[in-house]
Every structure is written in structure tokens, then in C-alpha cells.
Structure 1
Amino acid sequence: MQVKDRVWVVTGAGSGMGRELVLALLERGARVAAVDRAPAARAETTSFAGAPGERLSCHVVDITDAAAVAALPDEVVAAHGAVDGLINNAGIIQPFVPVTELTDDDIRRVLDVNLMGTLAMCRAFLPVLLERPEAHLANVASMGGFFPFPGQTVYGASKAAVKLLTEGLYAELLDTDVRVTVIFPGAVDTEITANSGVQVREGTPEEKAKAERMMTSAPDAARIMIDGIERNRLHVHVGRDAQLMSLLIKVAPRPAIRLVKKLMERQMGSPAAEEGVSPAGR
């Protein structure tokens, strides 16, 4: 489905890939309802977008708040007259520790945002999307949703659930006018670590430069995602790392997992996310 002249809802729109998705959609002639829990982040996105007038509306909503999510479709329709597409981009990572070292609150927060928040948005907006002559639902999973990364196991489990949730929706909606896409970003140069409240060691300038070379830029990630949506692709892999890991986990899963584990062990003391091998680049 072409994005031009359609109304798109984007969650996690205040920073990173979400902000770039908003800007790219506006550039392609879409109308956008930008959703973020942080008013300051929302204001920054509006500032970056310039003055798009009525084509951009901003909504302060925490996607873990069931009541706020349930009210959001009516707010977007009031602002734009319809909803044609939804991109569930909001997500957080976990602290870089084994499962046994996570607190109950750590686990619940990751699952609430990544899985339950995404599910709530799907359930809230699908009735509206089903009324349109053509519509699209896209959920952002992760490379970590199909490839295991030590220290991000619960994050990966939440994104694996998003993968299967989206594929299940694809099957359920085959006979409707709603197309469905699940997106698997690899390491993307964003601020997801800080936005998730996760503490990591500051890398050296050399480490940071290496990480940036290995990551997909947020603008490039947004472009790849929207191109995939416009082509109605079921699976969209963002970055060469995501494409490679998708192949390796199928043809040589055990050697691939051992290799990544060794690479991450060598980097103990330098968080994997800073070295470009983390699934949590968003």
C-alpha cells in the first residue's frame, strides 16, 4: 500500500526510528499521528518535522495504559478523518544481564511495552483499519526475535512473540483488505538503550566509531521499513546483520549461536549494543 495521502499512526515517535518514520512518511506525502509517552520527545519530533500543518498530529500516550490506547483511535480519526495504517514501533530493551539476574519488574516492563502494548494497539486499531478499502498493519520485532543473544533473552522472547503475533494476524486477515508486515531491525543507530533506562559503559571514541560503522542509520532503517510496507512484504529485514543472522539461524543454528556467544564474551565490559552485535539497535 502506498503511503502517500494515507493516515499513519506511529508509536515510539519521539526519537530514534520512530521519529525517522514520522519524517519519512511526511516526506512521502502521508498524514501522521505521532504517538509517544514523553511530551518532550513528541515536541522534538514536531520541531524536526518543521511546520507540516494539519498533516501531523501528536498524541501523548503510554501504550501500556489500556484506557489511553482504547481512546486513541477516536482521537486520531478526529484529527485526520480516518486511519489507514499503523506502525507499532515502540519498544525497550532489558538490562544486559542473564535471566536469573533480572528483577520481576525488569521482566514485566519489557513484556508490557514490547508485547502487551503492541497487542493493545493492534486490538484498538484493527476495527478502524478493517473499515478502510485498503489498510496496513506493521509491527516492529527485532533481529533478537529470531536469533538468541545472551543478556537479552527476555527482550528476545518479547520480540519473538511479536513476530508470531504478527504472522498470526497476517493469517487471520488474509481475506480482508488489511495487509500485514513484521519488521526485523538489526543494530540501528538510535538511543534505545538510554530510552529503556538501561545503564551501559561509555565506550571509547574508537569503540563508538566502530559501532556506528556496523549499524544501520535510523533514516536508512526508516526508508527500508516504509519501502517494505509499500511492497506489502510480510517480512522486512533491516540491515545486513539482520539478513545474515536470518540465514545463519536457519542453515547452521548451533555454530552461529556459539559464534555470537564467543563474540559477546570477548566484549564483556564493553556492552554488545555498543559493538554493533546487539539485537537491540532501535
Structure 2
Amino acid sequence: MARLTDTVAVVTGGGRGIGREIAFQQAREGARVAVISRTAKEIDETVSMIEANGGRAIALTADVSDYTAVENVFAKIAEQLGPVDLLVNNHGSFQAFGPIWECDPETWWQDVEINLRGSFHTCRAASPIMLERGKGRIVNLVGGGTGNSFPHGSGYASSKAAIMRLTECLNDTTVGGSVRAFAVDPGLVRTAMTEMQLTTEAGKRFLPGIQQLFEDGINVEPTRAALLIADIAAGRFDALAGRLLCGVDDRDALESQIESLVAADGRALRFTALEQKKL
């Protein structure tokens, strides 16, 4: 039996790559899926592919950095599919490469605005709907630079670290109302974003390590994150709400580690215990 038959799922950045696979998996599990992107052609293709496999989905264009547009989209989702049960923030921008003194300020800020402000907007729109119904799950995708330095990707890294903290704050605010938030790192996946890092002059100059990782065979399939998020949607990892889960995780092993992770306050954006005592 499909686990998500009664679920309305929203996937941003669902026109290709990781987002498309997440949308596919939600539909395979029985969810009704709203696919959001700025590019109509790509999300139309995603919806057509879902429908060809017997699923139900709608395509909606929106710029997530525009809150009015986000509000309008969520109103349309409620009308066409019902109130949202699962929000997956997969949209992302990584255009500013290099040391901060060489990055174009507007390009650097655009990465932060799309990634962080866009996630804030969708969380702000979805949370009241979920809280009113007493259920819901939100998944924010993070990535490189979330918990470590990323010198030549500072805008992207800063936004992802902030999204991790946003996820923690949101979860601590809403979990009492049975709405849970999670951060998911899909791992290094070959996408249009990474292709730009591999092929542009700035990418080759400032991010040569990406090419080396691919040459070393590091290439995580997007299905890993999609299957993990389906498990999150079904409630398998509710005890890890507010924490970081990874596409490369063995999901059975992760489930067996839940108690120890919670006890150790693991998978969270924290100072060390010794550092916390000094603050």
C-alpha cells in the first residue's frame, strides 16, 4: 500500500535533477504533488512524466524570493490539491565563485536571497496551514558549506548554514503543534548546478575540487535523497526533526541510531560542549 496516499506534497525546484526525482518519488508513494519552479517548461515535463506513470501532479511557476508569488502559489495548491502536508525546499542558486573580494556583490547576494529568503518564504506560507491542521513536515535541502568552510563558495555556504539554523529554529517553534522540520544534504549529485561549476572558467579556476571528486567516483544518485525524503514524509524519522539527515545515509542504520543521536544532540549546528560552556 502506498504510504503517502493522503499527502499533498510541494517540491520547489522540481523541474530537473534532485527536485524532479523527489517529486517522482512522492508521486510513486501516492502523494498529490505540486511542482514549483521559475521555468514552466521543466516543471511541465516533470508533471507529464508523473502523470504518465499514473500519478497526480500540477505545475506552478513562481519566484520563491517573491513572497506574494509564494502566497499565491500556496492558495492555488489548496484549491487544486488540498492543504499542504509536506514542503520540500529544493530550489537553489550557486552563481558566485571565488574569494569574496572577486565576487560580484549582486550575484553573491542573489545566491543568498534565492536560497535563504526563498526557503523562509515557503516555510512562512506553509507553517500556518500545517499548524492549523496539527500536522505537517518541512524538508529544507542544505549542502556544501553547511557545517564547514567553503572559501570560494561563500555566498552559497552562508545561505546553506543559515538554512540549517532556520530549520532548527522552525522546528523548535512548531514541533509542539506536530509540525516538524528537517534538513537534508543530498550529497554531491551531478546536476545543472554542478555542471556549471565544472564547465565555466570561474568554476574551473575556483572549484577544481568538484571535478576531482567526480573523477574519484563521488557521484551520489538523486534517488538517495528522494527515498530519504519519502521516509521523512511517512514519519520514519520524526524523532530526528530539527537535525541533518544525508542522502548517503544508510536509512536502516540511521533509524537504529536515533536514540544515540538525540542523546548526543548530534546532527545539529552547534559549538562543541566545551565552547558552549565558555559562552
Q: TM-score range by the shorter chain?
A: 0.7 to 0.9
CA–CA distance in structure 2, aligned partners of residues 237 and 175 of structure 1:
25
Match of 1:237 in 2: 246
TM superposition shift of 1:227: 2.3
- Aligned amino acid, residue 77 of structure 1: A
CA contact (8 A) 2:96 2:108 kept: no
- Does residue 150 of the first structure (1) align with residue 151 of the second (2)? yes
CA–CA distance in structure 2, aligned partners of residues 127 and 210 of structure 1:
41
TM superposition shift of 1:164: 0.3
Secondary structure at the aligned position of 1:156 is classed as helix
Render the CA deviation track for 1:154-213: whole Å, top value 9, x for unaligned.
2111000000001001111121121111112321122224579982459xxxx6994483
- Does residue 22 of the first structure (1) align with residue 23 of the second (2)? yes
CA contact (8 A) 1:13 1:21 kept: yes
> 1:90-129 alignment to 2 at 5 Å?
90-129=91-130
Match of 2:7 in 1: 6
TM superposition shift of 1:39: 0.9
Match of 1:258 in 2: none
TM superposition shift of 1:67: 1.5
CA–CA distance in structure 2, aligned partners of residues 128 and 197 of structure 1:
40
TM superposition shift of 1:82: 1.8
How many aligned positions are there?
A: 242
> 1:47-196 alignment to 2 at 5 Å?
47-51=48-52, 55-193=56-194
In structure 2, the gaps of 5 or more residues are: 206-210, 255-266, 273-279
From 222, 226, 233, the counterpart of 1:222: 226
Secondary structure at the aligned position of 1:213 is classed as coil
CA contact (8 A) 2:30 2:55 kept: no
Going from structure 1 to structure 2, the CA distance change for 1:198 and 1:179 (only over 3 Å counts) comes to farther
Task: Out of 35-44 and 207-216, give the one that drifted further.
Answer: 207-216
- Aligned amino acid, residue 122 of structure 1: C
CA–CA distance in structure 2, aligned partners of residues 8 and 76 of structure 1:
10
CA–CA distance in structure 2, aligned partners of residues 211 and 43 of structure 1:
33
Match of 1:259 in 2: none
CA contact (8 A) 1:189 1:212 kept: no
CA contact (8 A) 2:131 2:174 kept: no
Going from structure 1 to structure 2, the CA distance change for 1:213 and 1:225 (only over 3 Å counts) comes to farther
Task: Out of 151-160 and 207-216, give the one that drifted further.
Answer: 207-216
Secondary structure at the aligned position of 2:97 is classed as coil
Secondary structure at the aligned position of 1:87 is classed as strand
CA contact (8 A) 1:93 1:155 kept: yes
CA contact (8 A) 1:73 1:128 kept: no
CA–CA distance in structure 1, aligned partners of residues 54 and 187 of structure 2:
34
Match of 1:255 in 2: none
Structure of higher RCO (CA pairs closer than 8 Å, 6+ residues apart): 1
Going from structure 1 to structure 2, the CA distance change for 1:132 and 1:163 (only over 3 Å counts) comes to same
Percentage of pairs with the same residue: 30
Secondary structure at the aligned position of 1:239 is classed as coil
Going from structure 1 to structure 2, the CA distance change for 1:104 and 1:176 (only over 3 Å counts) comes to same
In structure 1, the gaps of 5 or more residues are: 252-282
- Aligned amino acid, residue 29 of structure 1: G
TM superposition shift of 1:222: 1.3
TM-score by length of 2: 0.77
- Aligned amino acid, residue 227 of structure 1: D
Match of 1:37 in 2: 38
Render the CA deviation track for 1:238-257: whole Å, top value 9, x for unaligned.
226xx9xx79x999xxxxxx
CA–CA distance in structure 1, aligned partners of residues 77 and 198 of structure 2:
29
CA–CA distance in structure 2, aligned partners of residues 50 and 65 of structure 1:
29
